[in-house]
């Protein structure tokens, strides 16, 4: 790995495989694996749906930025972020400064199939197909700032991890 790469940061819409790929990458690199959603829940001692319900999305986003900033103070980590962590410019700048950013993508059908298993996502309440279509449209350029992009719809986790390692190593 290029010594200038301090962290690998995975961004992408919900259900694109950030958590699974981050675990695989961390185990191959011998780096720590950090999931910012899990870190938010640990620090807040409550779940993400609870934060949304009790204090709203705006408060969630400010906690998310604070956690991202703290986590990215470290090095040799693979960091899986929440799907909306890319919305704030401040976060995008920080991510590019502190590591190699890989955006995972997937087809809408694949995303719907994957997120259907987990009813915990507050932004997907209601008609799942409609919510995913709407958010994908709203966020269609949100991941463009990443150093690379991988479509995970038809690739296994090991191959996705390998592509990211190859690209990060050739920075
Ligand atoms: C969100 C994605 C979720 C979580 C929160 C908001 C989003 O993370 O951070 O529910 O705005 O896309 P995952 O992408 O890990 O599901």
Atom 10 of ligand 1: nearest residue by CA position? 121
**CB atoms closer than 10 angstroms to residue 56:** 11
Measured in Å, residue 84 CA sits from the centre of ligand 1 at 6
Does the CB atom of residue 82 touch ligand 1 within 6 A? Answer: yes
Does the pLDDT at position 26 exceed 70? yes
The residue among 76, 84, 81 whose CA lies nearest residue 60 is 84
- Our mutation pick for probing the ligand 1 site, out of 121, 134, 143, counting the most ligand atoms within 8 A of Cβ, is 121
Ligand 1: atom nearest CA of 118 is 16
The residue among 106, 90, 79, 65 whose CA lies nearest residue 145 is 90
Quick one: average pLDDT of 124-135?
95
Q: What is the pLDDT of residues 38-97, one digit of tens each?
A: 999 999 999 999 999 999 999 999 999 999 999 999 999 999 999 999 999 999 999 999
Measured in Å, residue 40 CA sits from the centre of ligand 1 at 11
Q: Are 92 and 98 in contact (CB under 8 A)?
A: no
- Specify the pLDDT at position 2: 61
Does the CB atom of residue 14 touch ligand 1 within 6 A? Answer: yes
Ligand 1: atom nearest CA of 64 is 9
- Specify the pLDDT at position 58: 98
Both tokens assigned to 139? 């966020």
CA distance 22 to 5: 15
User: 151 pairs with which residues across the strands?
Assistant: 105
The residue among 168, 167, 170, 162 whose CA lies nearest residue 28 is 162
- Specify the pLDDT at position 170: 64
Does the pLDDT at position 171 exceed 70? no
Of 16-20, 119-123, 165-169, give the lowest mean pLDDT range: 119-123
């Amino acid at each position: 790995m290029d010594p200038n790469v301090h962290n690998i940061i995975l961004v992408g819409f919900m259900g694109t495989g950030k958590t699974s790929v981050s675990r695989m990458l961390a185990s191959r690199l011998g780096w720590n694996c950090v999931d910012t959603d899990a870190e938010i829940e640990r620090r807040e001692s409550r779940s993400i749906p609870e934060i949304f319900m009790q204090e709203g999305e705006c408060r969630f986003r400010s906690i998310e930025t604070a956690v991202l900033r703290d986590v990215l103070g470290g090095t040799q980590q693979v960091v899986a972020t929440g799907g909306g962590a890319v919305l704030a410019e401040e976060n995008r700048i920080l991510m590019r400064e502190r590591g190699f950013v890989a955006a995972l993508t997937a087809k809408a059908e694949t995303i719907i199939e994957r997120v259907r298993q987990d009813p915990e996502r507050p932004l997907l309440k209601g008609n799942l197909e409609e919510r995913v279509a709407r958010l994908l449209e709203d966020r269609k350029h949100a991941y463009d700032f990443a150093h690379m992009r991988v479509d995970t719809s038809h690739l296994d986790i090991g191959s996705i991890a390998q592509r990211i390692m190859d690209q990060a190593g050739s920075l």
